[in-house]
Each structure stands twice: as structure tokens, then as C-alpha cells.
Amino acid sequence: MAVLTDYHFHTEISLDSAAPYYDMVMAEYNAGVRRACVTDHCDVMDWKTLGFNPQCRTVARQELEAYEKYRPLLPADLQLRMGMELAEMIFHPELAEELSSPPWLDFILGSYHLTKEYGDYHDIDYSDPAVRRGLCDIYLRDIQQVAELNYFDVMAHIGYFRRYAMRAGADMGLTLAQHGDRIEHLLRTLIQNGRGVELNCSGLRDGCGPFPSEEILKLYKSLGGEIVTVGSDAHRPQDAARCVDQGQEVLRACGFRYIAVFTKRKPEFIPI
Ligand SMILES: [Zn+2]
Ligand SMILES: [Zn+2]
């Protein structure tokens, strides 16, 4: 079996995780992961108040301090990297360069969870047909802006809001049949800028399927996309690395033969 990698998980440095750094990384190791990258939230906006989140300025420094403190205590055969999930950049694009510039960072997920229109995707009323009708357009408009900002390595969890829609009984994934042109434009932008796509496995845990969907992954591959990372998006030790092995299988089935890991923002390719 290929080396297990997890390039998306959180620790208590993230405002929505209580997992101690050491416990979380050890849970990854004990689940079999040997190439891991901590990606705590660096949220430019506060998900609840929808105002600026000043904590975003401290995340990269906290990441470095935790790494330096715990790296000596961790197993030698674990390759651990420092990253972050840089989110909501489109609200303060002038900060994106600064937040993404600390030279010790190995990897940055480009992420997006908040609409200007409705707030957090988690809190949207998916039962309202008028909201549902426009939501994919808003989502694609905004992640296209993220892609063009370009201050990241890999775009996180494309289409992840399907989870919240499904919980509300509405299935509204991003499909090529409905949004193919804009999805292709997004993927071409990422490829031209040398950016990759994350396969986020959190949807494999709860029956929503991978984010992005297989058809989007196949399109990315057919357009020449090669950089794909795999992430569990775990926020608790009991979810560490969950379904990353299944994520590798999904990628193989979509035609990928390599997954990416990063050191100082440069990809390296591991056969799967
Ligand atoms: Zn996220
Ligand atoms: Zn995350």
C-alpha cells in the first residue's frame, strides 16, 4: 500500500478544535500516516460575527511554536510539515500576501466558507428554493476569486457545502451538467497558476462523497492537472486520517498515479 498522507487536519490552534497539537499529530501517526501537515484555520473573517478576525495574524507564528516544541517528542519516521488553511481571503485580499508569506510554512490550503450574501455555508437555509437556486453561482463566483488571488498551494474541499445541503434534505452538488463551463474555467485557472486540488475525505466519512466529486477530479486530470493532496479535515483525534486510504483509492479510480506532499511550498509526488 502507498504511504499514507494527511495534508488537512486541525489542532487547538484552530478556533473550532480542542485537540492538543501533540495528541492530534500522534493520532495521525497511530492511524498509519507518515507524511502529515497540520493545517490550522487562518480565517480572515470570523464565521459567526462576519467581521475581521484578528487571530488570523497569529496563526503562522503559533504553528511554528507548536512545531518547535513538539517535533523533538514525535516519532522520527513521521515527516511532519507546517501548513495552514487560509480562508476567506476574498474579504480582505490586501492581507492575503502577508498572511501567506511566513517562510517556514510548507503548505497553504486556499479555502472559502463564507458568502457575502448569506454568511457561513454551515448556517444557510437550504430549504429555501430561492437560496438554493443561486448558491452554486455564488460559490463558483467566490472560489474563482480565491483561485485568482493565488496565495495558496492547493484549493481545499471544492463543493463541500453539499454536506450541509444534504443534512437539510437538499441534494445540490456542483455538477458538470449544470456548471461545467465555470468549473472548467476554475480548474484551468488553478492549473495555469501551478496550484493543485485537495481531495477532502471528510465527505467520505459521512456519506456525502469526496470533495470535489469524482467527475470534477477526472476533469481536472483530463485538463492536465497533476497536483492533488489528500486530507481528512479531522478536528478531533478520533477522526485523524479517517478515510485517507479510501481517498487514495478514489484518486486511483479517477486516473491519478501520484499524490502530492509539500516542503516549503514545493510539491513532491508520491506514487499511489
Ligand atoms: Zn475548510
Ligand atoms: Zn479544515
Instruction: Print the SS3 string covering 200-266.
Output: ECHHHHCCCCCECCHHHHHHHHHCCCCCEEEECCECCHHHCCCCHHHHHHHHHHCCCCEEEEEECCE
Mean pLDDT rounded to a whole number for the chain: 96
Average pLDDT, integer, range 18-32 = 98
- Centre of ligand 1 to C-alpha 112, Å, is 7
Residue 86 main-chain phi, psi, to 5 deg: -85, 110
Cα distance between residue 218 and residue 234, in whole Å: 25
Whether 156 has a pLDDT exceeding 80, the answer reads: yes
Per domain, the residue ranges of the chain are 4-271
Q: How far is the CA of 180 from the centre of ligand 1 (A)?
A: 23
Rg (CA), the chain: 17
Quickly state the pLDDT bin for 257 (edges 50, 70, 90): very high
Ligand 2 centroid–CA 242 distance in Å is: 14
Per 3-state DSSP, the chain is made up of helix, strand and coil in percentages (nearest 5) of 40, 20, 35
Distance of CA 15 from the midpoint of ligand 2 (Å): 11
Provide the pLDDT for residue 141.
Answer: 97
Domain 4-271, what architecture? Alpha-Beta Barrel (3.20)
Nearest ligand, CA of residue 84?
A: 2
- Which pLDDT band, with edges at 50, 70 and 90, does 129 fall under? confident
Ligand nearest to the CA of 41: 2
- pLDDT at 36 (0 to 100): 98
Asked if 149 and 89 touch (Cβ cutoff 8 Å), the reply is yes
For residue 231, pLDDT over 90 is answered with: yes
pLDDT at residue 173 tops 90? no
Asked if residue 57 has pLDDT above 80, the reply is: yes
Q: State residue 208's pLDDT score.
A: 92
Query: What's the CA-to-centroid distance between 113 and ligand 2, angstroms?
Result: 10
pLDDT class for 264, splitting at 50, 70, 90? very high
What confidence tier does 205 reach under pLDDT thresholds 50, 70, 90? very high
Q: Separation of 9 CA from ligand 2 center, angstroms?
A: 6
pLDDT band at 168 (very low <50, low <70, confident <90, very high): confident
Mean pLDDT within 26-44 = 98
222 CA to middle of ligand 1, Å?
Answer: 26
pLDDT, tens digit, 9 for 90 and up, residues 131-142: 888 999 999 999
Q: Which ligand is nearest to the CA of 7?
A: 2
Q: How far apart are CA 92 and CA 56, in angstroms?
A: 11
Provide the 8-state DSSP code for 103: T
- Between the CA of 10 and the centroid of ligand 2 the distance, in Å, is 7
Instruction: Kindly state the average pLDDT of the residues 194-198.
Output: 98
Ligand of minimum distance to the alpha carbon of 88: 1
pLDDT for residue 49: 86
By DSSP bridging, strand 114-115 and strand 119-120 are antiparallel
Closest ligand to 146 CA?
Answer: 1
pLDDT confidence of residue 48: 82
Name the grid cell of 103.
517562510
What is the residue whose three cell numbers read 495528541? 23
Ligand nearest the Cα atom of residue 155: 1
Instruction: Determine the 3-state secondary structure of 197 from DSSP.
Output: strand
Q: How far does residue 219's CA lie from ligand 1's centre (Å)?
A: 22
Cα 59 to averaged position of ligand 2 atoms, centre (Å): 14
141-149 average pLDDT score: 97
Report CA(139)–ligand 2 centroid distance (Å): 17
Residue 30 sits at φ, ψ, to 5 deg, of -65, -20
Q: Say how many Å lie between the CA of residue 40 and the centre of ligand 1.
A: 9
Residue 130 has what pLDDT? 87
pLDDT in tens, 70-119: 999 999 999 999 999 999 999 999 999 999 999 999 999 999 999 999 99
111 Cβ contact list (under 8 Å, min separation 6):
85, 86, 87, 88, 146, 152, 155, 156, 157
Q: Which residues pair with 82 in a beta bridge?
A: 38
Angle at 191 (CA atoms; ends 160, 221), nearest 5 degrees: 70
pLDDT score at 54: 94
